[in-house]
Amino acid sequence: MHELPSYFKEFLSNINPSSSYLEDQRTGHLTLRKRFREDSDFGQYHINTFLQGSYARDTAIHPGKDVDVVVVTNLDSDKTTVADVYEYMPKILDRYYEGKWKPQGRSFGISLSYVDLDVVISTSRHLGDQELVTLSKSLVLNEADIDWRDHPLLIPDRDRGQWVETNPKAQLQATTDLNKQAKGYFVHLVKIFKWWRKEAYTTPERPKGYILERIVAENINVNCDSYPQHIQTLFTNIIKNYHTHALYGTVPFLPDPGNPKHNVAARVDPNDFKIFYNKVVATFPTINLACSETNAARATEYWRQVFGSKFPVSVTKSNDASFPARPVVPNKPAGFA
């Protein structure tokens, strides 16, 4: 097996969100936070905002996706209904983002010229009145130190008409812990798997995003010590573990670390999952060829069949095949040893 470490490092560099996009999402997030905090109407409810999702967990890929921004409020979930939230927020959003936002199932989508934001309104039962006053009047930049993040948040689910629990800190901690167990490979394997999904097919849309991350979490072997071995093992385990689901038209239970009773794949249509599973099966032979190939140039070409043009071209020519050559600069993204 050719491990091709420099090729995979360059591949990861190629599929990471650009530095300019990361700066754009930071700008969009901080601008929204300032507006909501200082708003004459909404300011009385605003506690803080923080980034959730793949950017916070460092599992996002190029060119970037909607940035999840959680807005923590002091709304009383026992007195404020989900319908109240969806009735109240439009006037606030129109004040700053008129014509650029739309309501979604659990959030409000804002489309700007430089970034898309998914704004999630939330509250917590673990904020006392005095704490609310203190936090409301302070600009807290290090949200990791805030006690309420140790507890689940409640977010409005429009389709179900009720507040539902989420726990972003537990999700982040689960990713951090698993990445440590896997010697730094987990977050990179998630990015690689997301990119494979992006290249493999476009419709149906699901499974995507965090569902893919949880699939990797449930099927990774933390003892693997190279990218080819991790990828081959991941696909092997998915095929083995989800065969029955694809056969009988069901979806697997993928527990949410923030709420273990919640299945993050619950909204995936069984037929969509079967399509996804069949794509995994169809890709697997090429992965096996790449892993068993003794010629590095041919192995690289097989990986390009799996991951597309973002995977680097071989710098050598084999006797059996000719590949375009170009210098390879092993860029080391943050996190590589």
Q: What is the pLDDT of residue 332?
A: 40
Supply the DSSP symbol for 70. E
CB count in 10 Å sphere of residue 308: 16
Supply the DSSP symbol for 319. S
pTM of the shown model:
0.83
Nearest to 121 by CA among 154, 96, 147: 154
Q: What is the SS3 assignment for 91?
A: helix
Helix (H) or strand (E) holding 299: helix 296-307
The set of residues, in sequence order, having a beta carbon less than 8 Å from that of 72 and lying 6+ positions away, is 46, 47, 48, 49, 50, 122, 123, 124, 148, 153
Report how far residue 100's alpha carbon sits from residue 122's, in angstroms, rounded to the nearest whole number: 21
Report how far residue 73's alpha carbon sits from residue 95's, in angstroms, rounded to the nearest whole number: 19
pLDDT in tens, 170-217: 998 999 999 999 999 999 999 999 999 999 999 999 999 999 999 999
The token pair that represents 249 in the structure block: 């038209």
What backbone phi and psi angles, to 5 degrees, belong to 294?
Answer: -90, -15
User: Which CATH number does 19-166 carry?
Assistant: 3.30.460.90
pLDDT in tens, the chain (337 residues): 899 999 999 999 999 988 888 888 889 999 999 999 999 999 999 998 988 877 778 888 987 667 889 999 999 999 999 999 999 999 999 999 999 999 999 999 999 998 999 999 999 877 644 454 454 444 443 444 455 566 789 999 999 999 999 998 899 899 999 999 999 999 999 999 999 999 999 999 999 999 999 999 999 999 999 999 999 999 999 999 999 999 999 999 999 998 899 999 999 999 999 999 999 999 999 999 999 999 999 999 999 999 999 999 998 744 444 444 443 344 444 443 3
The residues that bridge with 254 in the sheet, in sequence order, are none
Q: What is the pLDDT of residue 231?
A: 99
Supply the DSSP symbol for 151. S
The set of residues, in sequence order, having a beta carbon less than 8 Å from that of 179 and lying 6+ positions away, is 185, 186, 187
Token look-up 């600009």 returns 139
Angle (CA) 255 61 295, round 5°: 100
The domain limits of the chain are: 19-166, 171-292
Report how far residue 187's alpha carbon sits from residue 107's, in angstroms, rounded to the nearest whole number: 25
Q: What is the pLDDT of residue 138?
A: 46
Token look-up 């537990």 returns 170
Q: What is the pLDDT of residue 135?
A: 46
Report how far residue 108's alpha carbon sits from residue 87's, in angstroms, rounded to the nearest whole number: 12
The token pair that represents 169 in the structure block: 């800190």
The set of residues, in sequence order, having a beta carbon less than 8 Å from that of 78 and lying 6+ positions away, is none
Q: What is the SS3 assignment for 167?
A: coil
Supply the DSSP symbol for 62. T
Question: Do the strands 101-103 and 108-111 form a parallel or antiparallel pair, or are they unpaired?
Answer: antiparallel
* 138 contacts 66 by C-beta, under 8 angstroms: no
CB count in 10 Å sphere of residue 295: 15
pLDDT in tens, 13-49: 999 988 888 888 889 999 999 999 999 999 999 998 9
The token pair that represents 313 in the structure block: 């071209």
Q: What is the pLDDT of residue 140?
A: 42
Radius of gyration of the chain (CA): 22
